[in-house]
Structure 1
């Protein structure tokens, strides 16, 4: 049980975090964790779906869930006086759901509609295509939501077995932030989840989960969109790598803001794209570093060439001292400003416990950013950005051969 007292607020954000995500699903379970998001709220041994909704609406509370590749969270945001109700409802849906056959069939259609919505969003499609391309057959390469085939074939028994087998209290962390008393909330959580006063997690997911399969270089998803959408990237760092603060600075300087090198080169100086940015994803045993750009299809070749030139330049020469200083300032501000609400602080508590088994203070996090040097950034850039690139494209192209020449040497 982890809590943080936030002075001056009258609300509390609570989350039941579970150390299970889409990467833990077998192929026949692909999408099960996300499917359960829908089903666990459909009714329990004590509450109907309508009853759950009415109880939370009566106190103006928020109740929801999200699934990621390595964890799942069921959360609530309520007034401080309604914490007992929120914890009781959260524990009820996570541990006491009914998973009625009629609800499984009803929500199957809803999840399939969600997949159809994703298929209508080129950026969502692109992210999944990139993961599939760079991670191959590894579970990290599968979409969190599953596929139309896996959802249509998912039985109630498969969902029930996954839920009962994986959503166990040793894998759970309860996190809360706001106007609260730790002892009171811990007692409520222990009573609601039927465990001792402190819920002991299984510990962080270990690094070194095995060698990833060989990755592809280039993938295309034909889509009748007005723009071409590009992700160009390389394998990155796992979350246990001590150089993560260095990667954060590199990411911020390359494509994290209006003054970043990619934004300036691609948009401001050449007007090739409205949106361009870089991003990092760090998992227990793998990671990615990527650049996104959306542009007119006829300008994709020029965008690719400029992005590759920028990456090659930073790989060869690193960043300037002023770029590093500016990136560090941006990260410092973003770190502090991003924790101005109770929900963000609750998320930080839950993620840190599941990912690292410890809490890092804001002061410590800022000090890690401040300690990054231009030489460290240059060394990491030379290692990461000199790797062979992986590219994923979603846009109005019929075949890979129709893509611009700047991408052909990746295939």
Structure 2
């Protein structure tokens, strides 16, 4: 498998990876414009734009977009994160030109029809309502807000209802003008792809786009921590705890990820074994390490009953402290194996491979080889994992989000006191 890179004169970066033996491919454009690039009055607009992607262009109606991709058995979709908005298609080898043409049409020729804006506004308001009715989703939005209060990185991706109700066609077009320049885009393709053919087509589809005025950089993130508690008579208490972690480029990111896997990343992890298997206090519990351009978060989540939340929180804190002291070589080796296997098995999918290409190019401005990544995972030692765990529980910045019948749940101050005791 060969990774090839090319940059158009207007700054659009193109990266492809041919995967021999495949008959399908994934192709898409990743725009470096997500939730954290919005001003306060724009909160939710990146996601609104994603929804408008398939609602018609200057050359195709919404129905024609859907019919043309499905006529060839393909699939087209988009998503918004806090740092990226992605538009991508999965197609058979012979239909890669069609997939790329559709993606380009969506990005270059949107019409933002007022009638379609109103239809999609209603859809997004329904999505916001659904999120509010999904406790184990909304609790993470509240955790993000508690970790990064009054900052773009702490705001919800969907946006508040009042903003979504107010967005106009000019608002959508304005955000595109600010953030959708070719130098803010990465075209990534993987699978049964021909690099030279994709470059030629990309030049025809995107080469005429002018560079836009350099957009302001995202507001630097500052993990402050805090508490967000919502009492509601649900079946369970949803408990989420976060600590500041390393960013993408921090060498400790691999130790952070291995620590979170050993702590709560699988059935053999400490939290799962102690809290679910031995004590039966919950059905779901996990830990994960996420990262952004300039910060990161290690998160622990669990759902349990009102009667058991105090015990669950106490044991969670105690297990985190214990992991910082006596994490074993066997646990670290198992976590390394899980991390490598998860990455390598996932990258057998052309969609995941294209996603990795775009992500690595965004972070490093190059594509590290899989061998290089595996070497960094294998190089993480037990001492590094323990040291990371010790630093984690010793940090002042901690965020807590609790939702449900949580009267007995400990306050953030109590958790902090137990962590450092």
TM-score range, shorter chain: over 0.9
The correspondence for 2:378, drawn from 347, 370, 376, is 370
Q: How far apart, CA to CA, are the structure 2 residues paired with 1:7 and 1:201?
A: 37
Pair 1:212 & 2:231 matched? no
162, 165, 169: which is aligned to 2:182? Answer: 169
Q: Is the 1:236–1:286 contact (alpha carbons within 8 Å) kept by the matching residues of 2?
A: yes
Partner of 2:286: 277
2:409 is matched with which residue?
Answer: 404
Aligned position for 1:289: 298
> Residue in 1 aligned with 2:258?
249
- The 3-state SS of whatever aligns with 1:77 is strand
CA distance in 1, matches of 2:243, 2:213: 31
Give the C-alpha shift of residue 360 in structure 1.
Answer: 1.2
Does residue 328 (structure 1) correspond to residue 341 (structure 2)? The answer is: no
CA-CA distance at 1:136 after TM superposition: 0.6
Q: Cα distance, 1:356 vs. partner?
A: 1.9
Rounded Cα–Cα distance in structure 2 between residues aligned with 1:202 and 1:359: 27
Residue by residue over 1:19-45, the C-alpha shift from the partner in whole angstroms, topping out at 9 and shown as x without a partner, is 111000011111111101111211111
Secondary structure of 1:177's match?
strand
2:349 pairs with one of 316, 319, 341: 341
**2:10 corresponds to:** none
Show the counterpart of 2:275: 266
Instruction: Give 1:4-403 correspondences, 5 Å limit.
Output: 4-195=17-208, 210=220, 212=222, 214-216=224-226, 218-315=227-324, 317-388=325-396, 389-397=398-406, 402-403=407-408
Distance 1:303 1:100, change over 3 A: same
Distance in 2 (CA, whole Å) between partners of 1:4 and 1:200 is: 26
Q: Tell me, what secondary structure is at the counterpart of 1:333?
A: helix
**C-alpha displacement of 1:321:** 1.2
How far does the alpha carbon of each residue in 1:305-327 deviate from its partner, in whole angstroms, 9 at most, with x for none?
Answer: 00000111123x14111111111
Give 1:332 deviation, angstroms: 1.5
Q: CA RMSD in A?
A: 2.2
**d(CA) in 1 for partners of 2:371 and 2:138?**
38
> 1:407 offset after TM fit, Å?
5.2
Local SS of the residue matching 2:280? coil
Contact 1:131 1:142 in 2 (8 A): yes
Contact 1:230 1:292 in 2 (8 A): yes
TM-score, normalized by length of structure 1? 0.93
Quote the Cα distance in structure 2 between the aligned partners of 1:201 and 1:324. Answer: 47
Could you tell me how far 1:367 is from its partner in structure 2? 0.8
Instruction: Mark the CA change 1:77 to 1:201 in structure 2 (over 3 Å): closer, same or farther.
Output: farther
SS at match of 1:257: coil
Whether the 8 Å contact between 2:306 and 2:408 is mirrored in structure 1 is no
* Aligned 8 A contact 2:37 2:217 in 1: no
Q: Give ranges in structure 1 of 5+ residues lacking alignment.
A: none
| Partner-residue secondary structure (3-state), 1:281 | strand
- Cα shift readout 1:227-255 (whole Å, capped 9, x = no counterpart): 11110121111111111111111111111
* Structure 2 gaps, min length 5: 1-13, 417-421
- Residues matched between the structures, number: 401
Q: CA deviation at 1:267?
A: 0.6
